[in-house]
Amino acid sequence: MASKISLIVPCYNEQESLPIFHLEAGKVLKEIGCDYEFIFVNDGSRDDTLSVMKQLAEWDEHVTWISFSRNFGKEAAMYAGFCNADGDYVAVMDADMQDPPSLLPEMLHLLESGEYDSVAARRVNRKGESPVRSWFARRFYRLINAISDADIVDGARDFRLMKREMVEAIIEMSEYNRFSKGIFGWVGFRTCWYPYENVERVAGETKWSFWKLFKYAIDGIINFSQAPLDLASWGGIGMTFVAFLFLIVIVVRRLVFGDPVAGWASIICVIIFIGGVQLFYLGIMGQYIAKTYMETKHRPHYIISETNRDGVKKVR
């Protein structure tokens, strides 16, 4: 029997969803019958999420809340949760009920069978999501799995119940640019994929615009693959080869047909094209350099302004 379960809940403007989540998850945990804690992380919400958290903590001694000094993003909120959760089993869950608490007993059961170190929820469909978004999401998973050695499963959410050992490994991965789907895969351990039907949010709206998601995808690729850098080398070799062929053609043409001055347009096209390709590759390198720059600064992942728990490290 599990002695303690910690549920980490990153919250950004979730004043409507959070009480519902707390109620539903609380029911499930009571039924399971082991010790548990909620770790609500207020990620600089602009609504009344923090007061809702404080209220819930007054009613329920299982609630710990941590409040950031500003919005640091879901990744930072999850990291803060991991660093402060002390359960033997730990899960990250969204406040919007898209990670159904009703899956917890079965997930726990699978973990306790001893065969796995983590049980991860995986959406088998993307009901309620726009087709364009789904299409891009699928392409992203294809691509990142082809070019990186972290195993990143399509439809996987951040929702997974894991054992202490895995949590410790995740805390050790203290990189500044965090991409949890990659980190979970990278640390390894035996993972069981638990399929379920997608659920739509109970209240509020998604914080992920298409553009934000796109940038997140690019971050994921840059954080877990060096393939884009290789692209520059291979592209360069390819172009050199093509240029060499052109050279031969031009020399032969000069010798055989003489040299009527022509081809101004084609030269301009080639120059612009090559300029574009070079800028593109420079941009890729810039992305990696920017990441390296941020990592070397060793800035904290988050700053906590308030919490109801003793002994929490405020800056980390």
CB 293, min distance to ligand UDP, A: 22
Name residues whose C-beta falls within 8 Å of residue 167's C-beta, 6 or more positions apart in sequence. 82, 85, 90
Does residue 11 belong to the site contacting ligand UDP (CB under 6 A)?
yes
> Quick one: which H or E segment has residue 157?
strand 156-163
Does residue 73 belong to the site contacting ligand UDP (CB under 6 A)?
yes
Binding partner selected for residue 198 from Mg ion, ligand UDP, none, CB under the kind-specific 5 to 8 Å limit: none
Cα separation, 229 vs 220, whole angstroms: 14
Contact 161, 107 (CB under 8 A): yes
- Write the CA distances from 141 to 148, 261, 272, 284, integer angstroms: 11, 50, 32, 20
Find the binder of ligand UDP among 134, 175, 190, 208 (CB under 6 A).
208
From the list 66-74, 81-89, 144-152, 274-282, the region that binds ligand UDP by CB under 6 A is: 66-74
Angle (deg, nearest 10), helices 227-257 and 264-297: 160
CB 167, min distance to ligand UDP, A: 19
Does residue 98 belong to the site contacting ligand UDP (CB under 6 A)?
yes
What radius of gyration, in Å, describes the C-alpha atoms of the chain? 25
> Quick one: which H or E segment has residue 119?
strand 118-123
Contact 215, 205 (CB under 8 A): no
**Site track for Mg ion across 91-130, x = CB under 5 A:** ---x-x-x--------------------------------
Does residue 133 belong to the site contacting ligand UDP (CB under 6 A)?
no
The residue number with the shortest CB distance to Mg ion is 98
Q: Which of 164, 207 has the CB closer to ligand UDP? A: 207
Residues of the shown chain interacting with ligand UDP in the complex, contacts defined by CB under 6 A? 10-12, 14, 43, 71, 73-74, 77, 94-96, 98, 206-208
